Amino acid sequence: MVGERNILITEVALRDGSHAIRHQYTVDQVVAVAKGLDDANVPYIEVSHGDGLGGSSLQYGLSLTNEMELIEAAVSTVTNAKIAVLLLPGIGTMKELKQAAQLGVKMARIATHVTEADISAQHIAFAKELGLETVGFLMMAHMVPTEKLVEQAKLMESYGADVVYVVDSAGAFLPHEVKERIQALKNSLSIEIGFHGHNNLSLAMANTLAAIEEGATRIDGSIRCLGAGAGNTQTEVLIAVLNRLGINTGIDLYKIMDVAENIVAPILEKPQEITKDGLILGYAGVYSSFLLHAQAASKKFGIDSRDILVELGKRKVVGGQEDMIIDVAAEISKQKQTAHT
């Protein structure tokens, strides 16, 4: 693993971290974080609503500040870093992507569920037309066998993606599973491979290192672990580890540590830690948006929300199927009542 390998880091705290602070970023906070990251020589900084462009809504959570203002502020602050945005087709539109490009964004990350790469074709093509570096982002990648992941990644490559990411949205992967998937993609694609980890099982760092070992060259990190669920691979810790391994990122370790401590830590409403909620999401392998619905259903039916989430994971329920939560809760409640009679 040691060697003259270059790894490009995308810092996601100003996008994924939006989940952790209920999408309440201010322009001043984004400017301070972006400036600190730029000074530390972070190459890519992702800025948008936690659910990507157009995500500010009652369903996904309303932003305190219009994301285009945050994007514009970040672009005008940095001198070396490139500002990136995330877009989920069906939430964000090409109109918003064009607007972001006009504001000076340099990278678009087009995200779909791991089985739905085909809905990214138009958006990837349009991002390329706009002159953006374009990333295919396959979310909830733990939910399919390796062969299916390869098939979907090949689709994104065929649409023109410069990079394809394996995205562990639920923080459910184990290191050997990451190694198998990155290795398969490395053998099947001619473009770069990326990895985005979550820390719900305390494996974000181990999974990220497994991905790098198998040839992933694009890696996501979140400073101070600021992200959905239990957070992401912690950027400043990752830089320290990669320095120890002799792997070059170009990021200044002391400066990124200072940004984490002095600028980002005060923004956190509470420290990112692995609570029972984050842990059960990783264990069950379900998306973090299910948590509040499951907790509401558990109160209604008088059952443990963990039982609901584990059953949803077994059924491989995906985002958009939240209506199944009530059905599953009712079934579990009925089973328990039957067992007691």
Span between the terminal Cα atoms of the chain, in Å: 58
Grade residue 188 by pLDDT with cuts at 50, 70 and 90. very high
What pLDDT shows up at residue 25?
96
pLDDT score, position 5:
64
With a cut of 80, say whether residue 1 has pLDDT above it: no
Residue 54, pLDDT > 60, answer yes
According to CATH, where is 1.10.8.60 located in the chain?
289-339
* Beta bridge mates, 167: 196
Position 58 scores a pLDDT of: 67
Share of the chain above pLDDT 90, in %: 84
Residue 169 marked in a binding site: yes
> Is 340 labelled as part of a ligand binding site?
no
CA angle 263-198-283, nearest 5°?
A: 140
Residues serving a catalytic function are 19
CATH topology of domain 8-267: TIM Barrel (3.20.20)
Here the tokens at position 181 are 């998937």
Higher pLDDT, 5 or 322: 322
| Chain segment 204-252, per-residue pLDDT in tens | 999 999 999 999 999 999 999 999 989 999 999 999 999 999 999 999 9
Q: How far is CA 201 from the centre of its chain?
A: 15
Sign of CA dihedral 304, 306, 312, 315: negative
Q: Provide mean pLDDT across the span 167-194.
A: 98
What is the CATH code for 289-339? 1.10.8.60
Rounded to an integer, the average pLDDT of 186-213 is: 98
| Greater pLDDT, 55 or 72 | 72
Going by the DSSP 8-state scheme, the letter that residue 278 receives in this structure is H
Phi, psi of 94, rounded to the nearest 5 degrees: -65, -30
Q: Is 287 annotated as a binding residue?
A: yes
Q: Is it the case that residue 135 has pLDDT exceeding 90?
A: yes
**E-only strand ranges, 197-325:** 218-221
- 193-210 CB burial, b ≥16 within 10 A, e <16: bbbbbbbbbebbbbbbbb
Please give the pLDDT value at position 293.
85
Q: What is the pLDDT of residues 301-333, one digit of tens each?
A: 999 999 999 999 999 888 767 788 999 999 999
DSSP state of 61: B
Is 329 within 8 Å of 308 (Cβ atoms)?
yes
Q: CATH 3.20.20.70 spans which residues of the chain? A: 8-267
What percent of the chain lies above the pLDDT cut of 70?
98
Angle of CA points 100, 272, 115, to nearest 5°: 55
Is 254 marked within a binding site? no
Average per-residue pLDDT for the chain? 94
